[in-house]
Chains A and B, each alone.
Chain A
Amino acid sequence: MKTKTRDTLFASGNWILSLGTIAALLASQWKEAPLPAAVLVVIVIMTLAKSRLIILDFLGLRGVSPRLALPLYGFMAFGSGAALTAAFFGA
């Protein structure tokens, strides 16, 4: 797997943590009421962005092995799809 410099990893880590913190803060705002659909969609998009950075930079698959990265994206897309389906069709 490709070696990343510590600076790149630091930048990637900062993005992931920032997205994670914003998603957690957004989620905690609606503790007593149902989460608005638009906010759930935003959180899911942030989740997919975080996942992409984890797969490419933390797992070291950027430009190295698309065949390994694709099924991982697929898993995250499946999880996010399940969350959105449960939210929109279970209500």
Chain B
Amino acid sequence: MALADQNDTEATADGDLLMWILIWGELVIFAALIGAFALQALKDPAGFEAGRALLASRMAGLNTVVLLLSGWFAALAVRAGNSRFFRRVHLIAAGGLGMVFAVLKIAEYRQEWPIASLPGAESFFQSYVILTGYHLAHVVFLAGLLLLLAFRQSSGDIRRVATLWHVTDLVWLALFPLIYLS
């Protein structure tokens, strides 16, 4: 029994270490992409201003609120205690809102696609799609994991995936002022 507990503790510690390695790895990649975007903006201010003016920033604002709400439900799922029902409801809400974010983002891309090749704005849209597309891939993957966890619950996994989800949330909070406002 004691050996089983020790194995569980070691497995949890290994999982946590792996999670934080993954988080720092992602943050370093996003920091590099954010740095590259800011440098491009300094090199080509006119092109970036023209590109930014064509973005659907209201939809992005709405998406910010959707993602924050989703993060809240993920936090509630972690704190739902032993109630499988409440954990499931909160995980479905968190994952579902993540999918709503993805749908709104794709709708935003569709709106912006025809104007992305306008002269002067190509460089902006190239950087914009790399940065937001990479973030969107994380959102879709993690929202899928949250929905999967709703039906295959394990409290350790819920905590780890929710932590990754909050970091994806934080990355969006850094991207929003940089891309849409500066």
Contact sample, A vs B, 24 pairs, CB 8 Å cutoff: A6-B76, A9-B72, A20-B64, A20-B65, A21-B65, A24-B58, A28-B57, A28-B58, A28-B61, A35-B181, A43-B181, A44-B177, A51-B173, A54-B169, A54-B173, A58-B71, A60-B78, A72-B27, A82-B174, A83-B174, A83-B182, A86-B42, A86-B182, A90-B41
In chain A, residues 6-45, which have Cβ atoms closer than 8 Å to a Cβ of chain B? 6, 9, 13, 16-17, 20-21, 23-25, 27-28, 31, 34-35, 40, 43-44
Q: Please give me the residue from chain B that is nearest to A87 by CB atom.
A: B182
A90 to B43 CA separation, bound complex (whole angstroms): 8
Number of B residues contacting the other chain (C-beta, 8 Å)?
Answer: 46
Which of B79, B162, B177 has its CB near the most chain A CB atoms (within 10 A)?
B177
CB distance from A79 to the nearest CB of B (A): 3
Does residue B134 face the partner (Cβ distance < 8 Å to A)?
Answer: no
A residues near B (Cβ < 8 Å) are: 1, 3-6, 9, 13, 16-17, 20-21, 23-25, 27-28, 31, 34-35, 40, 43-44, 47, 50-51, 54-55, 57-60, 68, 71-72, 75-76, 78-80, 82-87, 89-91
